[in-house]
Amino acid sequence: MVLFPNGKINLGLHITGKRPDGYHNLETVFYPLPIRDIVEIIPSDHFEFQASGLSINVDPDDNLCTKAYQLLKKDFPQLPDIKIWLHKNIPMGAGLGGGSADASFLLKLLNDKFILNLSTNQLIQYASQLGSDCPFFIHNSPCYATGRGEILEPIQLDLSAYSFVLVYPGIHIGTAWAFSQIKSSPPTISIKEIIQNPVSNWKETLKNDFEPPVLNHYPALKDIKENLYQSGAVYASLTGSGSAFYGIFPFKPTKIDTLFESYKCFVF
């Protein structure tokens, strides 16, 4: 069986406070985009994980797909041995949630293939043990997220009339470093309220707290955002803790590859 895990972008991201457990509370809106990896499971006489595509600098035993399988195997020992084949297309360390998507989609794939009869809420509970944004990919529809990103409220948000451009500059930004650069503060207006306004109004109000420290540390990335706006984007931002940027366009942009020829670009 094969599934095609998709990535996501963050529409705004605000760090609201540090928690006693050392994590941070935040608010954001997760929005799915059709940039996809490929996950396939194949019958095998022993468990095996294999990857192709973009290089994954993680030991196979530490890959989230392996951890997802082991998490279910602990509670469902009848799960047979399988080979997991993962083809990476979603850049890592980019703020697009590719690893989280792979693991969550694998949970759904195993549930369906081996008839585990897990409900959506049960799948979300398993996903939350793998990563803060993993539960989103069980929903895989626009959600307002709070807590560490695992508390999700589905929202009505349809941006299908717009085109998206993703620009990945090839820089891996560590999440721990990014959070260490932030001084948390309560929001003056919730992102949930801001995104109810027209997209053309977001430029002045919808912010990502990670963007200033990331741009300060990597000043060359400032040109990406500026070029997205100069190309006609009505809104442009860093996604997650970066390093990918996205632009939302009211038309299908052209010559993007020429404009960002030094970087990897995706147009949807």
pTM: 0.93
Domain of residue 248, CATH code? 3.30.70.890
Number of domains in the chain: 2
Q: Which residue has the higher pLDDT, 235 or 55?
A: 235
Largest Cα separation within the chain, whole Å, is 56
Q: How confident is the model at residue 137 (pLDDT cuts 50, 70, 90)?
A: very high
Residues 142 and 17 in one domain: yes
- 30 with 132, same domain: the answer is yes
Is it the case that residue 258 has pLDDT exceeding 80?
no
Tokens found for residue 13 = 């991201």
| Distance of alpha carbon 183 from alpha carbon 178, whole angstroms | 11
| pLDDT for res 220 | 85
Could you tell me if 20 and 66 lie in one domain? yes
> What range does the domain containing 80 cover?
2-154
Instruction: With beta carbons less than 8 A apart as the criterion, state whether 118 and 126 touch.
Output: yes
Task: Kindly state the DSSP code that residue 84 receives in the 8-state scheme.
Answer: E
Separation CA 237–CA 248 (nearest Å): 9
Out of 133, 154, 175, a domain closes at: 154
For position 55, which CATH number holds?
3.30.230.10
pLDDT of residue 259: 74
Three-state DSSP at 107 gives helix
Other C-beta atoms within 10 Å of 81: how many?
12
**Are 10 and 96 part of one and the same domain?**
yes
Distances, alpha carbon 105 to alpha carbons 47, 237, 267, in Å: 18, 26, 23
Mark whether 142 and 205 lie in a shared domain: no
What are the tens digits of pLDDT across the range 242-257?
Answer: 899 999 999 988 777 7
Catalytic residues: 8, 133
Tokens matching residue 226: 């500026």
User: 33 and 111: one domain?
Assistant: yes
What is the pLDDT at residue 24?
A: 83
Decide if 267 contacts 163 (C-beta within 8 A).
yes
The per-residue pLDDT for 38 is 98
Amino acid 188: pLDDT: 85
Which residue would you say has higher pLDDT here, 76 or 57? Answer: 76
Q: How confident is the model at residue 7 (pLDDT cuts 50, 70, 90)?
A: very high
Q: In terms of domains, do 240 and 138 share one?
A: no
Same domain for 38 and 93, yes or no, is yes
Average pLDDT, the chain: 93
- Which of 57-66, 140-149, 154-163 is least confident? 57-66
Task: Show which of 154, 184, 209 is a domain's final residue.
Answer: 154
Residues 76 and 142 occupy one common structural domain: yes
Tell me what pLDDT residue 91 has. Answer: 93
Query: What pLDDT is recorded for position 93?
Result: 84
Distance (Å) of CA 140 to CA 105, 120, 211, 245 = 10, 12, 25, 20
* Range name among 88-102, 114-128, 179-193 with the lowest pLDDT average: 179-193
CB-CB contact of 126 with 135 (8 Å): no
Considering the domain architecture, whether residues 169 and 138 belong to the same structural domain is answered as: no
* AA letter at 99: G
Averaged pLDDT for residues 19-23: 79
Q: Do 208 and 258 belong together in one domain? A: yes
Band (168; pLDDT cuts 50, 70, 90): very high
Which of 119, 154, 189 terminates a domain? The answer is 154
* Extended strands (E) in the chain: 2-3, 6-18, 24-36, 38-43, 48-53, 82-88, 143-146, 151-154, 163-168, 235-238, 245-249, 264-267
**Contacts of residue 29, Cβ cutoff 8 Å, sequence gap at least 6:** 10, 11, 12, 142, 143, 144, 145, 155, 157, 191, 192, 195
Confidence of residue 126 (pLDDT cuts 50, 70, 90): very high
Whether 92 and 173 share a structural domain? no
